[in-house]
Amino acid sequence: MPDDLAGDWFPSADAPKDPLAAARQAMRPPPPKRFYGEAGVAERDGAFLLVLDGRPAHTPARTPIAVETQALGEALAAEWQAQADAIDPATMPITRIVNSTLDGVAQNRGGVADDLVRYAGSDLVCYRAGEPERLVEAQAAAWDPVLAFARDRLGARMVLSQGVMHVTQPEHAIAAVRSAVEQVASPFALAALHVMTTLTGSLLIPLALAAGELSPDVAWDAAHVDERFQESLWGEDEEAMERRRRRKEDFLAAATVYRLA
């Protein structure tokens, strides 16, 4: 079936990430031609399936691409409909998150939650500069509201450190953060939270975003205070800026998945 081609271009969640695998991926042929005319959503048994020319699409593990809400299904279909003559997975971050959820996260929710909680043990917003004053102020402006959210909404009172010296967070704080993660009911939302966390190095920032305390753009900027400060001193590096732009697109897509899931 033509939609089997998706498995060649959307690696499963447990795909190998070693250097040889990366080299093989780099040697792949160009992406396949678009093999369908119309992408849409079909409701079946309470789920919303991605359909290509009326046929259900599948993940690399041959799981039907079905989500829990029509809004998320429509966002998926929009990515597929927007493809031109060739299918470019780089422009389909929502599809990648959904595939990872169906082929990996949904079967390992406990492991994903454990991984997220580990980030809270060394969360970005807990490690502060001692100088210069302008950076100290910028970190405080961006991160203090996140810590206030964690304290007031989650019951997690985090301990701060200056520099890179590791600080062990109180058990009660970690337990409160774990409780917040375990309350994320949708596996798609959990996968999206994991994507946002790995892209920022912070769990508390995405949790604040998920709770409506931060907008996606403000959350992204909060995670990059240090980089923006360095750029104000030394100027912008075009390659670094392009990498960050692509990562922000993935972050915003994850925020969308969380909201729509």
pLDDT in tens, 28-79: 667 789 999 999 999 999 999 999 999 999 999 999 999 999 999 999 999 9
**Residue 146: per-residue pLDDT:** 98
CA 142 to chain centre: 20
In 10 A of CB 32, how many CB atoms? 13
**Residue 17: per-residue pLDDT:** 43
Domains and CATH numbers, the chain: 2-92+99-106 (3.30.2180.10), 108-260 (1.10.3580.10)
**Residue 25: per-residue pLDDT:** 53
Q: Is residue 154 within 8 Å of 145, Cβ to Cβ? A: no
What is the rounded CA–CA span in Å between residue 71 and residue 62? 23
The strand pairing partners of 43, in sequence order, are: 48
The strand pairing partners of 67, in sequence order, are: 48
- List b or e across 11-23, with b for residues whose CB sees 16 or more CB atoms inside 10 angstroms: bebeeeeeeeeee
What is the rounded CA–CA span in Å between residue 148 and residue 177? 13
Model pLDDT for residues 218-241, shown as the tens digit of each residue = 999 999 999 999 998 998 888 989
The CA–CA distances, whole Å, from 230 to 15, 42, 234 equal: 35, 48, 6
**Residue 235: per-residue pLDDT:** 87
What is the rounded CA–CA span in Å between residue 7 and residue 13? 12
The phi-psi region of residue 68 (left if phi > 0; otherwise alpha if psi is between -120 and 50; otherwise beta) is: alpha
The pTM for the full model equals 0.88
**Residue 164: per-residue pLDDT:** 83
The CA–CA distances, whole Å, from 10 to 15, 43, 98, 99, 171 equal: 10, 24, 10, 8, 38
Q: Is residue 188 within 8 Å of 68, Cβ to Cβ? A: yes
Q: What six digits make up the tokens of 222?
A: 């909060």
**Residue 24: per-residue pLDDT:** 52
Low-confidence ranges of the chain (pLDDT < 70): 1-29
**Residue 31: per-residue pLDDT:** 78
